[in-house]
Amino acid sequence: MGELNSDLVHIVGHRELLSLDSRCRFRLPDEVARKLERETGRVAGHSDLPPTAFERLSFYFVPGTNDRLFLYPAPNIKVAIDRFENPPPGQDPALLRAARDYFYGMMCFLEADRQNRLQIPEHLREHAGIEGAEDHVVLVCHNLWLTVVKGSAAKQLDITGREALEHVGPSVLDPVDTAQQPSTQDSGEQ
């Protein structure tokens, strides 16, 4: 398994409300930039990308679900592409084709500037509902990508996420409790 992911950049464990400047740019937090630089350096020799792709922090900005943007570090974009090219069975082909066309049409490659700032392209700002009045975005680091969402949605994201965790958490996060549930029911029936 480690060999399978040796060419992917991993980044987890960061969430921050960031300010947008007048050009809709945000600055990657230093901690995130350091982790990404370390990770991209680690995978540089394993990647199919040219060495120049690793000179600066670079991302593929893509449209996400629920008014979000996903930022894939350059080596990780193949994860998203592979999911579109090899979708789970049972998907409607016409719907999948339309989603894939939209995804690829909106995709944008960007490099961070020397201050590790990234400018959100206008067409992706529209997708995420980030308007001129929006002065903050929330950046969340997942395992293989980062998510950006408008700052005004942060509170609702917290509420929705907390409720979802309460619903799925026992079966996902607590394998001991899940393992004991059937035996408890069995002993109650005896």
In a domain, 170, yes or no: no
User: 183: number of CA atoms within 13 Å, CB side?
Assistant: 5
In a domain, 95, yes or no: yes
pLDDT of residue 172: 76
In a domain, 164, yes or no: no
In a domain, 186, yes or no: no
Q: Which domain holds residue 28?
A: 14-152
Query: Does 161 have pLDDT greater than 60?
Result: yes
Note the helical H segments in the chain: 30-43, 77-85, 93-106, 122-128, 154-173, 175-189
What CA–CA distance (Å, rounded) separates 83 from 77? 10
In a domain, 21, yes or no: yes
Query: Does 117 have pLDDT greater than 50?
Result: yes
In a domain, 22, yes or no: yes
Query: Does 178 have pLDDT greater than 70?
Result: no
Most confident of 49-58, 81-90, 126-135, 155-164: 81-90
Give 122 or 184, the one with higher predicted confidence: 122
In a domain, 187, yes or no: no
Say which DSSP state 88 is in.
P
H or E segment to which residue 108 belongs: strand 108-111
Q: Are 39 and 113 in contact (CB under 8 A)?
A: no
Query: Does 95 have pLDDT greater than 80?
Result: yes
Indicate the number of domains in the chain: 1
In a domain, 145, yes or no: yes
CATH code assigned at 23: 3.40.1550.20
